Structure 1
Amino acid sequence: MASEAVNNYITKRYERWLDYSLYHCGLAGISDEATDVLNEVICSLLQKQSELLDKLLDTKKNGYTELDFFVLKMIKLNASSPTSQYRSRYKPLPADDNVDYSKMDIEDLPDETEDKNADILAKLHLVREIYESLDLGDLAARVFEFHFFQDGNFSEWKGPETLKQLYEIYNGVQELIRKKISGESTAFSFKL
């Protein structure tokens, strides 16, 4: 983590570095990305060792620090070099400026935004309706209701039944409902 002196220096010099970034990004044709380039450089800078940053800050040359020269060099490199870290990470999609998009045959697909919550609710109502129409015994009804509708965990079941028995009962009721939904014959009942 950078020292407080380095953080204060970055805050103090940010506007000047941004001007430099605006200039070089303008030359590179990406002037609207100047702030992003500078922020990327600062993020990369702050990931360096604290000792190195302090050393760069303490080394003065012509009224500037080595930290200034390092940041300016990285801004110029990230703005101008197509293989730089910033340019390769945020590479724009290739586009053909010679294409007349108004003459292209683009299929307009209908907006198929489905209401997933309404779909889940409808399915839940269907399961509830089938569950209530089944001829279930008291235990089977309580087990299914506890696990399916109340989202209860069988390890918290208050009763003498074992986990194996509870799962067998639940799976049996679930199978009856599945068969009823698919239209299979459900002439048998599940009484317990």
Structure 2
Amino acid sequence: MASAAVNNYISKRYERWFDYSLYHCGLAGIPDEAYDVLNEVLCSLLQKNDRLLDKLFETKKNGYTELDFFVLRMIKLNASSPTSQYRSRYKPLPADENVDYTQLDVEDVLDEAEDKNNAVLERLHQVRTVFESLDLGELAARVFEFRFFQDENFSDWEGPETLKQLYEVYNGVQELIRKKIAGESIF
């Protein structure tokens, strides 16, 4: 979480940064996206390390802070570069100017994304139920919980076990769960 001073400074400078964003978005041919570009830059900025933000805020040059220069560079980059984070994330849909889209017959297709999400959630609950029903040792339970449920990398594991040992334990538990779900005998 950024410090209160940084947050206040962002609020104070927002309108000026918006003017800069409007100018560069206009040059790039996307003037209607000036708020989006600025907000994308600020969202990215606020995800940075607090110490970095404080350092940028505290470093002054010619009446401005390094935070100003950083934000202005990011606005210009995001508005003008086709490979920038904003431009690559929010690519406009290609449109054929010769087509009258109001005259097209559009088929109503049910979105099955919700059903897929529900299936994944049910499968996750099934894995959790089977996992909790197994009589695993403490290490095996911790390893599987760490990798599968917490989605952590074994390189971040804090313990004396080697990566090879961690993967062997994890794969063993995974195989036990797979067999139990499939209805195979595990003993």
**TM, length-normalised to structure 1:** 0.53
For residues 136-169 of structure 1, the C-alpha deviation after alignment (integer angstroms, 9 at most, x for no partner) is xxxxxxxxxxxxxxxxxxxxxxxxxxxxxxxxxx
Question: 2:109 & 2:77 partners in 1: Cα distance?
Answer: 46
What is the number of residues matched between the two proteins?
110
Q: CA deviation at 1:96?
A: 2.5
Is structure 2 residue 109 aligned with structure 1 residue 101? no
Q: Which residue of the partner structure matches residue 5 of structure 1?
A: 5
Q: Which residue of the partner structure matches residue 89 of structure 1?
A: 89
Q: Which residue of the partner structure matches residue 54 of structure 1?
A: 54
Question: 2:4 & 2:109 partners in 1: Cα distance?
Answer: 53
Instruction: Give the secondary-structure state (helix, strand or coil) at the position aligned to 1:37.
Output: helix
Structure 2: where are the runs of 5+ without partners? 111-187
- C-alpha spacing 1:107/1:14, structure 2 compared with 1 (3 Å): closer
Any residues of structure 2 matched to 1:29-178 within 5 Å, and which? 29-97=29-97, 99-101=98-100, 106-107=104-105
- C-alpha spacing 1:112/1:69, structure 2 compared with 1 (3 Å): closer
Q: CA deviation at 1:112?
A: 9.9
Question: Would you identify which runs of 4 or more consecutive aligned residues in structure 1 move more than 2 Å?
Answer: 104-109
Identity %: 77
- C-alpha spacing 1:112/1:22, structure 2 compared with 1 (3 Å): closer
Structure 1: where are the runs of 5+ without partners? 114-192
Q: CA deviation at 1:100?
A: 4.1
Q: Which residue of the partner structure matches residue 169 of structure 2?
A: none
The amino acid across from 1:19 in the alignment is D
RMSD: 2.3
- C-alpha spacing 1:11/1:93, structure 2 compared with 1 (3 Å): same
The amino acid across from 2:64 in the alignment is Y
Question: 2:13 & 2:61 partners in 1: Cα distance?
Answer: 16
The amino acid across from 2:100 in the alignment is Y
Larger Rg: 1
